[in-house]
Amino acid sequence: MRWLVLVAIALAARADAQGGPGWDLKVPERLELPAGSTGTLPISIAIDRGQTISKDAALILDLAPEPGVSVKRRHRLGRADAVDPDDEMPRFTVPVGTQGAGDYTIKLHLRFWLCGTRVCRPIDARRTFTVSVTAPATPPPADAGVDAAPADAARKRGR
């Protein structure tokens, strides 16, 4: 019986990692950028009607990029770093820089308190998403598309 309780707790914790009753963490699965560029990663927290995110407790968003991508701001963000800190459903726009081509991951760890009408409960969510960096487009050679025949004809006329 004791192991059944432990399994139920593990499953409940796992469900919170992807969203749960009353809330959802919205992060794109993949962000595609050319090498050497900067893009924006949108992160938002959606809550159901009747739920609130406590403004009295901390809201902490930790970002851990692997080498090859970088977060242009701090790696730890709070409610004050949201697009609109007073919004009931905080949104973040995180500038992401890229280096060489390849697929890189950024780990996200979000902690906040979700409140109903009578009780607040801690939320601890983790996500991993991929930044797919493509090789920068190479410009065509300077003489690409130039027909050599007119230059040859002008040279022959000049003789």
Domain annotation covers residue 24: yes
Domain annotation covers residue 5: no
Number of domains in the chain: 1
26-67: pLDDT as tens digits: 999 899 999 888 999 999 999 999 999 999 999 999 999 999
Task: Identify whether the C-beta of residue 27 lies closer than 8 Å to the C-beta of residue 43.
Answer: yes
Domain that holds residue 96: 20-137
Which pLDDT score, from 0 to 100, does residue 82 have? 94
Structure tokens at 8: 């139920």
70-107: pLDDT as tens digits: 888 789 999 999 999 999 999 999 999 988 889 999 99
Which pLDDT score, from 0 to 100, does residue 74 have? 82
Which pLDDT score, from 0 to 100, does residue 139 have? 61
CATH number, domain of 58, equals: 2.60.40.10
Domain annotation covers residue 96: yes
Q: Is the pLDDT of residue 155 over 80?
A: no
Which pLDDT score, from 0 to 100, does residue 136 have? 72
Domain annotation covers residue 75: yes
Other C-beta atoms within 10 Å of 31: how many? 20
Q: How far is CA 64 from CA 59, 102, 150, in A?
A: 17, 17, 58
For tokens 């800190």, the residue is: 85
Domain annotation covers residue 154: no
Q: Is the pLDDT of residue 116 over 70?
A: yes
pTM equals 0.70
Which pLDDT score, from 0 to 100, does residue 9 have? 37
Domain annotation covers residue 104: yes
Q: Which amino acid is at 122?
A: P
Q: Is the pLDDT of residue 137 over 80?
A: no
Domain annotation covers residue 40: yes
Q: Is the pLDDT of residue 153 over 80?
A: no
Domain annotation covers residue 26: yes
6-15: pLDDT as tens digits: 333 333 333 3
